[in-house]
Amino acid sequence: MTDLFLFIGSRFTPAAYMTATRIQGILWSLSDVLLIFIFLKIIAVVKGDRCRRRLLGQFLLLWISAFLVLFLPFIDDSRGFFILESVIFGLQFAVLLYSVFADAGDLMAYFRAFPEKAGRR
């Protein structure tokens, strides 16, 4: 174990760290975009035509964050990467948190009624 630690300590340089960070950052940012997109689609199913305009606003914020993901591969320093990731996550979390406060009640009611609703089919 000690040898492994010493090996990593000498080989996992800041350059290797940035390469790994870039690859991982793109992968988890893409998964976040997909995850929030599906979440908003679920909200749309639950809410129907209500608050259509508001959902459009949330989708817009999501697409802006997705657009910013395109710049991640071109950032070379960890501080710049962290700032861009902060902006991307900030937009995505804002979308999610708004829905947590605004839509949680409707979502819970929908899921509470779902077994009966599905059973009627």
Which of residues 31, 57, 70, 80 is near other proteins by CB under 8 A?
31
As measured in angstroms, the least distance from the Cβ of 67 to other proteins is 19
For residues 101 and 109, give the distance between their C-alpha atoms in angstroms, rounded to a whole number.
14
Half-sphere exposure of 42 (CA within 13 A, CB side): 16
27 lies in the binding site for other proteins (CB under 8 A): yes
For residues 109 and 104, give the distance between their C-alpha atoms in angstroms, rounded to a whole number.
9
Q: Which of positions 87-116 make contact with other proteins (CB under 8 A)?
A: 89-90, 93, 96-97, 100, 104, 107-108, 111-112, 114-115
Task: Choose the stretch contacting other proteins; rule: CB under 8 A; options: 40-48, 53-61, 64-72.
Answer: 40-48
Q: Which residue has the tokens 């077994």?
A: 115
Q: DSSP letters along 52-118, please?
A: HHHHHHHHHHHHHHHHHHTTGGG--SHHHHHHHHHHHHHHHHHHHHHHHHHHHHHHHHHHHHHHHHH
50 lies in the binding site for other proteins (CB under 8 A): no
As measured in angstroms, the least distance from the Cβ of 55 to other proteins is 14
Which residues bind to other proteins, rule: CB under 8 A?
Answer: 1-2, 5-6, 8-14, 17, 20-21, 24, 27-28, 31-32, 34-35, 38-39, 41-42, 45-46, 82-83, 86, 89-90, 93, 96-97, 100, 104, 107-108, 111-112, 114-115, 117-121
